[in-house]
Every structure is written in C-alpha cells, then in structure tokens.
A = this chain, B = another copy of it.
Amino acid sequence: MLDIERALVICAHPDDEVLGLGGTIKKMTNAGIQVDVLMFANGNEGYTTMEDKDRIVDIRRKEREAVQQILGIRHFETYDYEDYAIPANEVTYKICMKAIRTYKPDAVFTHYWKEYNTHKSVASIASDAFWQAGWICSLDLGDPWKAQALYHFEVIELLPHVSHMVDITDTFEAKMEAMRAYASQCTVVSGALQQIEGKALMRGAQVGLKYGEAFLKNINRPEIIR
C-alpha cells in the first residue's frame, strides 16, 4: 500500500487530512513519498465565538500552513468553498480529475462515502475521478493517468470494514501535534484530541500495533494482475 512514490489526498475541510490520515501522511513523507493535498473548503463555519466569525477563514489558513510543515506535505491545493457548500458537480469533478492528472499519484486517499453531506460529495467525485482520469478524454485537464489504488479514510463514521491498517506508532505524536496546530478546531467537537487517541489505540489494538490508522481500499475498479 505504501510502496509508492506519490500520493494525493482529496478532502473537504481543513483538519480532515489530519483526523483521517495525519499519521499516515507523516509516515509517507518520512519515507520520501511525495504527498499532495487537494482541499475544497475554507473552514468558514468552524468558529466557536462570534468574535471569530470574520477571522476564522484566516485563522484556519494559517493553521493549515503550520500543518503543512509538520506533516511535510508538498503541495496544498486549496479552494474557497464554504464549509457546507461543496457541491458534487462538474466543476469540483474537473478539479479532481485535473489534480490526479497533474500530480500523477500512485495512490489516492479520500473520504469514506457514507459520512455526512460534504464528505459524501467529496468521496463521490474523487472516486469517480480516480477512475475517469484514466480514460482517453477531456484532454485539457491533462494527459490520462491511472492511479493504482484508491483508499477511503475515516473522520466521522468508523469504517465498517478495514482493508488496511497502517502502523502510525512512530508518527502518532506528529498527528497529535498537527491536530493541536488546528487549535481553533479542537473545541468545536469536545474531546477531539481524546477521540484521536482513543481511535488510534483501538485501531492499533485490533491488529497488535500500538497506534493505527484505518483505511478501506475501494474495490469498484479492478487491479490488473498480469
């Protein structure tokens, strides 16, 4: 799964990349894998006091830049969609196709398709784009590129099945540091940091590791065995 050169993460909001696969991103960048992140929303709804309402987008941008350093993300391609307003339409679809054709990832990571509204939208367009980017069509979005695999990560819902469990024991502290860098979000959901630790402990324990991150490989499109 991680025997690759380039990975692309497609997510909705600033902090989804940390909650879902912060430990795995760090593990990949430590190993010299290039990791790019495509992120749609600007974080405008995540303010916990009215005073922050007009500042929250700026705050989260800065937090995200800190996270980029912590996790070693090469390129953060961000858009300015509002948090509840990421449509699954031709514009966002083409953004995904173009990113896949531009960054040429071996593996794509995106949301699990049964989470809530915007996470569903992103999972849907990213999954279809993963597949259609390999067709010989829409050439102004770049040359066709077939990524080898698509993995779904968990943010809100627990994955009902886990096809791959990544050992993040060595990078768990970086995941926590990255989440603490998203300081504005640590109080939106109470116990966010405890939740990260509990989930990592449990996922690890399921397979005999200290800390784990869970993924579900998308099996809608076959891997070819020659």
**Copies of this protein in the complex:** 6
Q: Are the CB atoms of A47 and B223 closer together than 8 Å?
A: no
Distance to closest chain B CB from A101 (angstroms): 13
Closest to A97 in B: B84
- Interface flags, A51-90, vs B, CB<8A=1, else 0: 0010000000000000000000000000000101101111
| Chain B contacts for A173, CB-based, 8 A | none
A148 contacts chain B at the CB level, 8 A cutoff? no
A183 at the interface (CB under 8 A from B): no
The residue in chain B whose Cβ has the minimal distance to the Cβ of A46 is B137
> How far is A94 from B85 in the complex, measured between Cα atoms in Å?
10
Evaluate contact between A167 and B117: CB separation under 8 angstroms. Answer: no
A197 within 8 Å of B by Cβ?
A: yes
- Contact between B207 and A202 (Cβ–Cβ < 8 Å)? no
